[in-house]
Structure 1
């Protein structure tokens, strides 16, 4: 389906671009919020990512999967925005926000609140692969392509991330609830 959409976009079909946007924008925003820790920055990153997709669609090999290419653009935009804005607002207002969307998502968030808090406390070099793997469902080799990092480095970061998440969740469930540490 993406291949056909991309071909139509190349032909100048604005409705096809709108359909592509509608297909990916909501989850892209969630990923961008998790990376940037700020709704406004996340929205900017998503918007700029789609602009870049539109401008560069002719250089994309439509025989390759679209999602890794798109998320690489998105992660790069998030990193660009983070580098540009040194005073980032934390994601404290993410709980129950309108970005969550449906009530079902809000219930899922409450169920996994410890996990989300633990992920949020990780360093970005571990957090981003964890988000892409476990919240978005990318394979290790796709994450390596998105982040332009060796696949073994991704596997190592995912392993370290799982270990740190386990410790952080156990610590949080143990009652102390302190997440001041960045998971180091």
Structure 2
């Protein structure tokens, strides 16, 4: 089904692209918000991602899964926008600015803040692995990394999360 839809998009079928957009938009927005840490930047990144996908669909290798190709473009757009803006707005300031109290339990907010406070080198692989359920190979391809480098970043990222949430290092005796 996805290959048929992509073939129709390549041939210029706007309705097929609209279907793709509807299918991927929410997932892309959630990812972009977590990556950029800013809702407006996320909107820009997602909009530009869909434009690039539409313009460059002919470059997509239909022998490979579509989703990693799409998210590779999305991540690059997020990085480009973050580089352009060169600032990070903490979660508490974002929530304060829009006047929203989080409805999540404190544990979820703590996890979110711990994740958002991490360096992108560790944060992005953790997001792709544990929030989007990509394989290590797919993540390594998306981020243009060696699989062993990715595994190391995932391990260090998990350790940083554990530490920031007050957990004990792996293997320590209580």
Q: Give the root-mean-square deviation of aligned CA atoms.
A: 1.9
Show the counterpart of 1:122. Answer: 118
What TM-score do the two structures reach when normalised by structure 1? Answer: 0.81
Show the counterpart of 2:81. Answer: 81
Show the counterpart of 1:169. Answer: 165
Write the distance in 2 (CA, Å) between the matches of 1:86 and 1:19. 34
Change (3 A) 1:34 1:158: same
Q: CA deviation at 1:27?
A: 1.2
Q: CA deviation at 1:90?
A: 2.9
- Give the counterpart of 1:131 among 127, 150, 158: 127
Write the distance in 1 (CA, Å) between the matches of 2:40 and 2:143. 23
Matched position secondary structure for 2:16: helix
Q: CA deviation at 1:91?
A: 3.2
Write the distance in 2 (CA, Å) between the matches of 1:21 and 1:5. 11
CA contact (8 A) 1:35 1:78 kept: yes
Count of residues paired in the alignment: 161
Show the counterpart of 1:21. Answer: 21
Q: CA deviation at 1:89?
A: 2.7
Matched position secondary structure for 1:170: coil
Ranges in structure 2 where 5+ consecutive residues have no aligned partner: 168-174
What TM-score do the two structures reach when normalised by structure 2? Answer: 0.86
Change (3 A) 1:73 1:120: same
Ranges in structure 1 where 5+ consecutive residues have no aligned partner: 98-105, 172-184
Write the distance in 2 (CA, Å) between the matches of 1:114 and 1:86. 24
Show the counterpart of 1:179. Answer: none
The 10-residue stretch of structure 1 (79-88 or 157-166) with the greater mean CA deviation from structure 2: 79-88
Q: CA deviation at 1:94?
A: 5.8
Q: Which one scores higher on RCO, CA 8 angstroms, separation ≥ 6?
A: 1
Write the distance in 1 (CA, Å) between the matches of 2:89 and 2:163. 25
Show the counterpart of 2:43. Answer: 43
